[in-house]
Amino acid sequence: MIPAKEIRDNFSQVASCYERYADIQGKLAQELLKELVGQKRIYESILDIGCGSGWLLQQLKRYFQNSKIFGLDISFEMVKETKRKTLNAIVADALSLPFRDGSFNLVVSNAVYQWVPDLDTAFKEAARILHKEGYFVFNCFGAETLEELRNCFNIEENYLPEEKLIRECLEKAHFTNVDITKSVRKKYFDNLVDILSWLKYIGANRINAYQVLLTPKRLAEANYAYSCNYRSNGKVYASFEVIQVKAKK
């Protein structure tokens, strides 16, 4: 798994430009918001885990005006960006939530849990701070994400979670009415180098762990392989498996 410090540092470096480049994450946040608003439930208190620079938190404040709304993120710089929008947010880790048992009626999270190394602990923490009959709604990227990139660089390591693991961890945390759906989204680029640059701009440049592979020769070979195998309508694409979850305590 990726060390927490590396995750924190990566996202802190891109906090000021994250929303400009994180279009897939932004679209998922919109879908998550639409789901929550469409349910027409009333929540006394809401927590956004991994609130980033605060877009979803701001929208929750807009649509749930009578709710107490809080956010947290592992990145200090992301929390600074959130607070600039006059939102309530703190620096904290999903593995150790600094709230009392039963503090929230709804816990949400957008494109975060793929970064969490211990889903067992993380989901138990989410369950602990939820009030009885509380709801847990989130999405994350699954194991098939960036499959093309791993293939072209012959990368076998894959830290992203599978649906089976997510379901098992939710059940261990005693969540009920677990509803999981999956979809695949594609983002198009001019070439492989653009993909790598984009990943860096959104703080997801895990490919840096394989610097030994990124010689000019190896990069050219991977770019050629990518262009031959993963091209559509004059563009290359990267796939993202999205796992969407709704559960109840």
pLDDT tens, position by position, 179-221: 999 999 999 999 999 999 999 999 886 544 444 467 888 889 9
Number of domains in the chain: 1
Q: With respect to residue 196, please indicate whether it lies within any of the assigned structural domains.
A: no
233: left (phi over 0), alpha (psi -120 to 50) or beta: left
- Global pTM reads 0.94
Cβ neighbors of 154 (< 8 A, separation 6 or more) are 213
**CATH number, residue 94:** 3.40.50.150
In whole angstroms, what is the distance from residue 115 CA to residue 7 CA? Answer: 8
Q: Which residue has the tokens 């996202």?
A: 11
Structural domain includes residue 203:
no
Is 92 domain-assigned?
Answer: yes
Residue 49 · residue 129 · CB < 8 Å: no
Query: Which tokens go with 58?
Result: 């701001």
| pLDDT reported for residue 1 | 64
Render pLDDT for 35-83 as a digit per residue (tens, 0 to 9): 999 999 999 999 999 999 999 999 999 999 999 999 999 999 999 999 9
Work out whether strand 176-189 and strand 130-141 pair parallel, antiparallel, or are unpaired: unpaired
Question: How far is CA 191 from its chain centroid?
Answer: 24
Band of the pLDDT at 6, cuts 50, 70, 90? confident
- 3 state SS of 143: coil
Amino acid at 179: D
Per-residue pLDDT at 215: 80
Closest CA to 130 of 148, 108, 112, 153: 108
Alpha helices in 2-143 (DSSP H): 4-13, 18-21, 23-39, 55-63, 76-83, 119-129
Domain range for residue 168? Answer: 4-146+156-187+238-248
The Cα–Cα gap between 65 and 205 comes to: 36
Please report whether residue 192 resides in a domain: no
